[in-house]
Structure 1
């Protein structure tokens, strides 16, 4: 079951801290509801638009004599020094008979050759000939040119939005095992703008929070940049294939040198369910210990009860609660602490 966490702190009247995490699966996943007819219509409409745009409807792909499926098989052959027919069939979910006809066409055109497998003499590996490699290079270059023509027509903002949406589709639909692993890195120029915008957009959409929340996050991000102490503070950006998936901050307490604060933890909807939120929290705790802190504190609100389970797993304890109203909503602040 997906769970979410909203972490917020407002110190007196002048300073505030916010931490968000809505990602970790702590219970078995809830069975998705049936797709509505409107959803099916939108899905099919997108498929029609996209297949027309990239030119998969004509009989020959990219002005060649080969179909989309044949070109995809050619791609698999080019990506391997040697591959079995059944491995191609499994990868592309192709009927064995259909694949056999494609491979026969390739063989008759002298695009592939068969060699005895080094690992199993009973199996025949398929490899591209020099003619097959030349054909692949030509189709691959045409495909690159087609992509360039599409992207160059877009403004930088639209291009970024398109590529982000494409990554979201892959993350939502691809089997877990086929996705690239995410990495945790320190912040770079441009990351703070993303942190602010994604916090504001997600919480306006999912919780109806107003612009005061965006202002709060902007102030916290600015404070981190202007007052940054690399010995005691850190920001981590979670990234996969160049796409930002999440973030978290650990900063020192303004009054207590031995205390750190966990702030601005965020996980993109497309990355929820990967254990990313838990990994980011663990990274903070590990760094806090290394930096010599004795305690980590955070503030959360009661919007999502599964947050309590997340903090309990990390060793945090709930020490204080207080009703409040902010960002256009009623909520209960919760103070959590972890003794290191």
Structure 2
């Protein structure tokens, strides 16, 4: 490529970037259907994922600590965000959304999804994936690591079985739920047996498992089981991320990838079972269209909990897609 062509390419990208900023509303007026500035909208979306501190927000939003402090003070005063002292260090404040904040984020997500869905609907088949891949490449190139703003841990999302997957996913479940819910051997055995049986069916249509990979290590998982509930219904199972990856966005990407697979495969509904008390996970499910359909006491995990079944109906041909690498 000649220097002249390279110059034209750079100017063309700059022009498109400016237009994208204008179309997204960064130049003024209501942003994402709210009266909030863009930084506050992004902060609320990050806090929604759970396990976030002010320091985390500074890293993810590339803002100075003083700017984050002022923004959080306004969000707390507005009743959208609440602060809670951390269990290990009371000086570290964990951030979470209030009921008002969750309502506001739901409206933001609905507005953004409508904008994206409308734009994707005007593309030709296959161009949506090209848009996603192009934007991801561009963002990755812009976000070069720096000493000032260290990048949050990144994980690649891949499909399919790989050696050690059953053991690793079982271990993540066993360790996390032993610490947070007091589950023991019975829970671990149920997870291991169910996952092993499912992996024997991975070759069947409608079944898929995704793993978040950091290097060669599995740091998260989610699966779609298309056979164990009934025709036209997908079962979302074994959704978890390693403790070190919480807040990195890996969980959102795993969930979006699984739901994209379910929609593309043609399942009319996707169901998942969880239990009461996992508030951060529930908020994430609800932002993806899941609604609570059933509650009942259960002891299958070794101690009694209030089991909950959530249902999500297929998005009408406009499911968000994720760049997921198929394992071959």
CA contact (8 A) 1:180 1:241 kept: no
Q: Structure 1 residues 231, 326: closer, same or farther in 2, change over 3 A?
A: closer
Aligned counterpart, 1:286: 260
Unaligned runs of 5+ in 1: 1-22, 37-89, 94-174
Note the alpha carbon deviations across 1:219-250, whole angstroms, 9 max, x for none: 11111122223531111110123232111111
Q: Structure 1 residues 311, 33: closer, same or farther in 2, change over 3 A?
A: closer
Aligned counterpart, 1:25: 49
How far apart are the structure 1 equivalents of 2:87 and 2:171?
Answer: 32
Say which one has the larger Rg.
1
Deviation at 1:33, TM superposition (A): 4.3
1:213 paired residue among 182, 187, 198: 187
Note the alpha carbon deviations across 1:230-288, whole angstroms, 9 max, x for none: 53111111012323211111111335221110000111110001122121111111001
Unaligned runs of 5+ in 2: 1-46, 54-82, 90-145, 315-328
More relative contact order, 1 or 2 (CA 8 Å, 6+ apart): 1
Task: Give the match's secondary structure for 2:231.
Answer: coil
2:218 paired residue among 244, 247, 254: 244
How far apart are the structure 1 equivalents of 2:87 and 2:188?
Answer: 35
Aligned counterpart, 1:302: 276
Large movers: runs of 4+ above 6 Å: none
* Pair 1:257 & 2:231 matched: yes
Note the alpha carbon deviations across 1:15-69, whole angstroms, 9 max, x for none: xxxxxxxx96258635654977xxxxxxxxxxxxxxxxxxxxxxxxxxxxxxxxx
How far apart are the structure 2 equivalents of 1:274 and 1:185?
Answer: 16
Aligned length: 183
Task: Give the match's secondary structure for 2:304.
Answer: strand
Deviation at 1:307, TM superposition (A): 3.1
* Pair 1:184 & 2:157 matched: yes
The normalised TM-score by structure 1 is 0.49
Task: Give the match's secondary structure for 2:298.
Answer: strand
Deviation at 1:291, TM superposition (A): 1.0
1:90-129 counterparts in 2 under 5 A?
Answer: 91=147
Aligned counterpart, 1:315: 289
RMSD of aligned C-alpha atoms? 2.8
Task: Give the match's secondary structure for 1:253.
Answer: strand
Q: Structure 1 residues 206, 192: closer, same or farther in 2, change over 3 A?
A: same
Note the alpha carbon deviations across 1:132-191, whole angstroms, 9 max, x for none: xxxxxxxxxxxxxxxxxxxxxxxxxxxxxxxxxxxxxxxxxxx6x434521011231211
Aligned counterpart, 1:71: none
Q: Structure 1 residues 334, 226: closer, same or farther in 2, change over 3 A?
A: same
How far apart are the structure 1 equivalents of 2:220 and 2:166?
Answer: 12
